[in-house]
Structure 1
Amino acid sequence: MKTDQLPLPVRLLQVSCMAVFLGRAWQHLLWDAPFRTLLWDEGLLKGFVESTFDVTWFEYVTSPTTDLVIQILIRSTGIIYLLGIFATWLVFSKKWEKFSRFLLLLGSVGLFMLAVLYCKEKYYQLGQLIEYSSQFGAPLLLWWVSKSETKRVPVTAIKVAIALTFIGHGLYALGYYPLPGHFVDMTINTLGVSEEFAKSMLFAAGVIDMIVAIGIFIPAIQQPMLLYMVAWGVLTSLARITAHIDAQLFTATLGQWLHETIYRVPHAVFPMIAFIIIRSIKPKEEVILENA
C-alpha cells in the first residue's frame, strides 16, 4: 500500500514515529545519552567488571577504552534510530515490510530502554518512565498497524499512551516528585513571569494533566480533552526552543535544543490521531472501538 493511500491517522502515526527517531538519532549521534547511568553503576556492575575483565573499578571507569566503547554504543544506537526513519516510511512496502518491522521493534525497545535509563537517573521514579510512553509507543503501534489487515490505529492504545505521558508530567508538576528546575526555568524564560507564579502555573497544569488523562476515557468530554492535549503537546514541545534559544548564538542553541522539540511531536500528534478517529466514527461504533 502506498503512503498516500493510507488512512490519515496512520500517516500521522508515521509522522510521530519519524519525529521520535529523528530527534533521538540527533541526540545520540551529535550529543549524548545516559548510558553511563547503567554502565558506570558501581553497585550493580563492580563485581562483574572486576571478575570478568580483571581490572579494578577505578581503572574501568577512568579508562579511555571504556569511554570509547560507551561512545560507540551511543552512536550505534543513533544509527539504528536513523534507520528507523526509513523503516517508518517503508513499512507498508511489500519489499521492505519485514525488515522495516524488525527495525521498528528494535527502535521501540531502544526507546523503552532509554526511558528506563532516564528513570534510573531519577532514582527510579515511575513518572519519569511513563512520561516517555508516547515516544517508545509510536514505533510499536506502527509495527502493530502494519501487521493488521484493516490498517486502523487502535484508539484505546493511543489513549493509554497519551494518558501515561500526561500523568508522568503531571506527577512532577504537582510536586509528587521534586519539581524539576528546568520546568520552572522554561516557564520563566518563555512567559517572563516570576518564579512563584511559574510554580503556581505548573501546579495548575499538573492538576489539568490528571483531569484530561482521565477525561479522554469519558465519551461525553473526550473530544475537548484531546484538543487541550494537542495544544499542550505543541506548547510544551516548542518551549524547549522558546526557553533556550539565544538570538546571538542562534545556530548553536538551535542545534542544541531543536531535537528535544522534534522527539516530543507525538505528545501533540497522538491526541490529534485519537480526535480524528473519534470524530470519524458513529456513536454505536465508538462503543465497540473502545472495547476493542
Structure 2
Amino acid sequence: MKSKINIYIAISAFCVFLGRAIQHLVWDAPFRTLLWDEQLLKGPVENILGIDWFDYVTSPIADQWINTSVTAFGILYLLAAFSILLLHKGGFFKSVGLKLQVVGAIGLLFLAFLYSKEKFMQIGQLLEYSAQFTAPVFLWYVISNKEKEFPVFFAKCVIALTFICHGLYAVGFYPVPGKFIDMTIATLGVSENTSKDLLFAAGVIDFIVAAGIFLPKIQKPMLAYMIVWGTLTSVARLTGHFHLDFLGNTLLQWLPAVILRAPHALLPLVIFLQVNDSKESKSLKLSLPKLKGGVEVAH
C-alpha cells in the first residue's frame, strides 16, 4: 500500500511541476505584480539602482530580465518534474531530485504569494494553492522518511485549506471570480444566476467536507467527494474554455491548468487509501485469536 501511495504522491508533484513549467515557458507568470510595485520598489530602484521609476517600468531591458526570470522558474519546474522520474535510481539522481523538490516547492509558494498579491494580499488566494505547493514536500517526506507513516493529519489540513479557500470565493466571501461563473456557464449551459447559485452551493459543500474529513465516522465519504470534486473542478478548466476551432491553442493554454491541479484529487485519494489501510490493519489485529496470556496465535 505504501508503494501505491508514494506513486500517487509522485504523480501529484510531477503534474504540478509540469503544468507550472508549461505556464512559465509558454505563457507567463505574475512576476510583474511584485517587480512593478511602485509603492514597494520605487525607493530601492531610484535610490540604490539610480534609475528613474518611469524609465525602469518602461525599459525593454528590465522587461527582458523579468521575462528571463519567468523562464528560469519554468526551467526549474521542468527539471523538478523530470527529476521525479529518476528518484528510483538512487544515489546522485535521488539526492539532486529531492533537493529540486524542496527548491521547487519554495518556488511554488512564491508563485502562490504572487497570485495573492495580485488580489490585494487575500490570504484565501494564497492558501487555495496549499495542495499544489506542498505536493513536492509530501514527495520529499515519503522518500526521505521511508520508515515513517504518511502525515495524514497534516495532509488533511492542507486539502481542507484548499477546499475552504475555494469555497470562500464560491460563496462570495471574496468577490466571485468571473472565470468561475464563465466556466460553470460554459460547462453546464446554465444562466448566470443559476451559475452563481450552483457556485454558492458548491462553496457550502466545500466547507462541510473540509470539516468532515476530521471526523472519523464520516471521513471516507467526505474524502471520496473531494476526489470527485477535485477532478471535476480541474477538468472544468478545459471544458469551460474549450473551442474546437482553436483546438491546439485551447489544449496548450488550458490542459496545463488541468494537470497542475492533480493534487486537488490525488491528495484526498492518498489520505483515503491511508485511512482505509489503517482501519484494515486495526481490524486484522483485533480479529487475531489470542491465548489466555494475551499472546497472539501464530498463523
- TM-score bracket for the superposition, by shorter chain length: over 0.9
Q: Does 1:194 align with 2:191?
A: yes
Q: Does 1:114 align with 2:111?
A: yes
40, 49, 52: which one pairs with 1:53? 49
CA distance in 2, matches of 1:144, 1:276: 17
TM-score where L is the length of structure 1: 0.93
CA distance in 1, matches of 2:122, 2:254: 24
Could you tell me how far 1:31 is from its partner in structure 2?
0.2
Out of 245-254 and 87-96, give the one that drifted further: 87-96
42, 58, 63: which one pairs with 2:59? 63
Match of 1:88 in 2: 84
Deviations, residues 129-149 of structure 1 (Å, cap 9, x unaligned): 111000000001111111103
User: Where in structure 2 are the equivalents of 1:94-173 lying within 5 Å?
Assistant: 94-95=90-91, 96-150=93-147, 152-173=149-170
Q: Does 1:79 align with 2:75?
A: yes
- Structure 2, unaligned stretches of length 5 or more? 284-299
CA distance in 2, matches of 1:80, 1:151: 29
Q: How many percent of aligned residue pairs carry the same amino acid?
A: 51
Deviations, residues 257-285 of structure 1 (Å, cap 9, x unaligned): 11100100110111111111111113785
Answer with 1 or 2: which has the greater Rg. Answer: 2
Q: Secondary structure at the match of 1:53?
A: coil
Deviations, residues 99-140 of structure 1 (Å, cap 9, x unaligned): 111100000000000000000100111110111000000001
Could you tell me how far 1:92 is from its partner in structure 2?
4.1
CA distance in 1, matches of 2:38, 2:114: 15
CA distance in 2, matches of 1:120, 1:37: 7
Match of 1:24 in 2: 20
User: Where in structure 2 are the equivalents of 1:210-221 lying within 5 Å?
Assistant: 210-221=207-218
Could you tell me how far 1:86 is from its partner in structure 2?
2.1
Q: What amino acid maps onto 1:280 in structure 2?
A: D
CA distance in 1, matches of 2:253, 2:98: 31
CA distance in 2, matches of 1:14, 1:149: 14
222, 229, 233: which one pairs with 2:230? 233
- Structure 1, unaligned stretches of length 5 or more? 287-292
Deviations, residues 52-92 of structure 1 (Å, cap 9, x unaligned): 22111000000000010000000000000000012222334
CA contact (8 A) 1:10 1:152 kept: no
Q: What amino acid maps onto 2:104 in structure 1?
A: G
How many residues align? The count is: 282
Could you tell me how far 1:252 is from its partner in structure 2?
1.3
RMSD of Structure 2 on Structure 1 (CA): 1.5
TM-score where L is the length of structure 2: 0.91
Q: Does 1:254 align with 2:238?
A: no
